[in-house]
Amino acid sequence: GNSVTQMEGPVTLSEEAFLTINCTYTATGYPSLFWYVQYPGEGLQLLLKATKADDKGSNKGFEATYRKETTSFHLEKGSVQVSDSAVYFCAQGSGGSTLGRLYFGRGTQLTVWP
């Protein structure tokens, strides 16, 4: 079936620390992969995406590479800021019978301290 597994939170880091949030997926076919971010009191918003193997999505200093061989899409940032504190969701979208919907992970809460 289709699913996404991401690392359990919460993650607490000091400003300028390196961030990794792990994400793996199971899918039929070759899905598109996404990272979404949710700030307090808001809906989820797209952070970055990758649509095929070896693609790297990047935005606001965050990066993730589509690894087909390990079915992974880990999120990284070299130097986090207090303003990055939010909940991060990994998601995948497959075609076929589930065309249109995205499958989300449970979310990882990130808190960055000054």
Partner 1 sequence: DAGVIQSPRHEVTEMGQEVTLRCKPISGHDYLFWYRQTMMRGLELLIYFNNNVPIDDSGMPEDRFSAKMPNASFSTLKIQPSEPRDSAVYFCASRGQIDNSPLHFGNGTRLTVT
DSSP labels for the chain?
Answer: --EEEE--S-EEEETT--EEE-EEEE-SS--EEEEEEE-TTS-EEEEEEE-STT-EEEETTEEEE-BTTTTB--EEESS--GGG-EEEEEEEE--GGGTT-EEE---EEEEEE-
Binding mask 52-91 for partner 1 (x = CB under 8 A): -------------------------------------x-x
95 binds partner 1 (CB under 8 A): yes
* Residue 18 C-beta: closest distance to partner 1, Å: 26
Q: What span, in angstroms and rounded, lies between the C-alpha atoms of 111 and 102? A: 26
Binding mask 14-53 for partner 1 (x = CB under 8 A): ------------------x-x-x----xxxxxx--x-x--
* Residue 9 C-beta: closest distance to partner 1, Å: 11
Interface positions with partner 1 (CB under 8 A): 32, 34, 36, 41-46, 49, 51, 89, 91, 93, 95, 99-102, 104, 106-107
